[in-house]
Amino acid sequence: MALFVKKDIDGFFGLMTDNLMQLIVIGALCQQVCGISPTKVFGIILPGAAISIFIGNIFYAWQARKCSRREKRNDVTALPFGINTPSLFAFIFFVMLPVKLETGNPEMAWKVGLLACLGSGIIELVGALGAEFIRKHTPRAALLSGLAGIAITFIGMDFALRIFDRPLIAFLPFSIILIEYFARIRFPFGLPGGLVALGTGTVLAWVLFKLGVLVTWILLLCKTLWHNFILRFLPFQGERLERF
């Protein structure tokens, strides 16, 4: 099994974008909802989450490598490691926020969140002992339907709504993703679709922002010219126009 293939670049950008969004959400919710100080958020919480994501992906890659050697296969793919979006909102709104409202202490809310994460990990560890039995005796469609429902409801729908909220920026990257996955079109220089979509969206956002600033300055200039020059030299017509 090769340690690196070209398609890993596309997978990396997809996983990086997803985890980056999760970290941004964590930082925003911890401060705005739970009232945790920025020092703790950016000095402890986010670095800890980033380190855990890095170590988790390394461990999963090692497991895939081991599985490939044991089964003598070249088509083994490591499971991506990241932050579970439904669990993120559940811990924030159903664990940490109630503690914050009850005690008024953001520090206590954070500690209870850590304890809840530890308890969740223990439950998953115990459940893993029977995971293979469940996998063998449960139809694959039944196992994947719950995962697909969670992905569509808690992950996909939020970003889909954001596409329609910012159509000028989001529709072109969205089209690039669709073209890559369904039309099987290769991009110039072998660039991965995720990288092309991310770069296109970033450039569009900056260009539209700069255009908005330019239009704002033009409107302010026109307003200044109108009030300082046109109305001064055309007092009667200007007075009528202002009243109009």
Of 161, 5, 26, 158, nearest in space to 82 by CA: 26
> Could you report the per-residue pLDDT of 126-169, keeping only the tens digit for each?
988 888 888 888 888 888 887 788 777 777 777 788 888 888 88
> Could you report the per-residue pLDDT of 178-227, keeping only the tens digit for each?
887 787 777 777 777 778 888 888 888 888 787 776 667 776 776 676 66
pLDDT at 3 over 90: no
| Confidence band, pLDDT 50/70/90 cuts, at residue 232 | low
- The pLDDT, as a whole number, for residue 58 is 92
List the chain domain ranges: 1-129
Give 40 or 242, the one with higher predicted confidence: 40
DSSP state of 74: S
CB atoms within 10 A of CB 23: 17
Three-class DSSP category at 55:
helix
pLDDT at 244 over 50: no
Judge whether 180 and 193 are in contact, CB under 8 Å.
yes
CA distance 228 to 190: 56
Q: Which two tokens stand for residue 240?
A: 């009528």
Q: How many CA atoms lie within 13 A of 228 on its CB side?
A: 6
| Confidence band, pLDDT 50/70/90 cuts, at residue 38 | very high
pLDDT at 83 over 90: no
Judge whether 119 and 87 are in contact, CB under 8 Å.
no
